[in-house]
Amino acid sequence: MVSGLKKQLRQQALAARGQGGDDEAVTRHLLEVLVPHRGKVLAGYWPMRDEADPRPAISAHDGPVCLPVVTGPARPLEFRAFDGRLEAGSFGTSHPPADSPVMQPQVLIVPLAGFDREGHRLGYGGGFYDRTLEILRTSGPVVAIGLAYAVQEIRSIPVEPTDQSLDMIVTDQGVILPQPQNSQVNPDGTKS
């Protein structure tokens, strides 16, 4: 039931994403939220389809940068240092080659199909970011920043036990700081 509803919401959000948004505003807002994270290991992504583009902010980041690699089904993502070299990956992705060092990110820019104001996200349905965030969060503070166009917002996304929430969402309309029920993760990764 939940997976069927998520599939329907994902299709709606992806259709809306096709309308695009203000890429310069997305970059401006993303650069602003990354300021407190100078020097930290930043995981971005190489955009595909109509995804909001984090590359200008990744290029401007003052610190190490890595990109995700899908290493197999039902596995967490691996993050490799990004030095400009890319190779084709699964699911239409591009990622650093196998000889790039593996890194553990402290800040992640997460691609989205859709999001809601409570910090829930819809990806493509593979669970890669959910598995990855769960593991990363067990070893210390990690900030997960969803990147999307405002048109991808969904009123409410059904949540399953394996779903990992975002700490903030950056869109072309601004920055959304979700208000989780139990605790708030600040932009610098600390909890309040």
Angle at 125 between CA 185 and CA 11, to 5 degrees: 105
Q: What is the pLDDT of residue 67?
A: 97
Provide DSSP, 6-65.
HHHHHHHHHHHHTT---HHHHHHHHHHHHGGGTTS-EE-----TT----HHHHHH-SS-E
Of 30, 58, 34, which is closest to residue 44 (Cα–Cα)?
58
CATH value of 2-115+123-171 in 3.40.50.10420, 3.40.50.300, 3.30.70.990, 3.10.129.10: 3.40.50.10420
Q: What is the pLDDT of residue 1?
A: 65
pTM, 2 dp:
0.89
The Cα-based distances of 93 to 111, 143, 160 in angstroms read 12, 22, 26
Q: What is the pLDDT of residue 189?
A: 47
The pLDDT averaged over each successive group of 10 residues in the chain (192 residues) is: 81 84 96 97 94 96 96 92 90 89 98 95 90 95 97 92 95 90 46 44
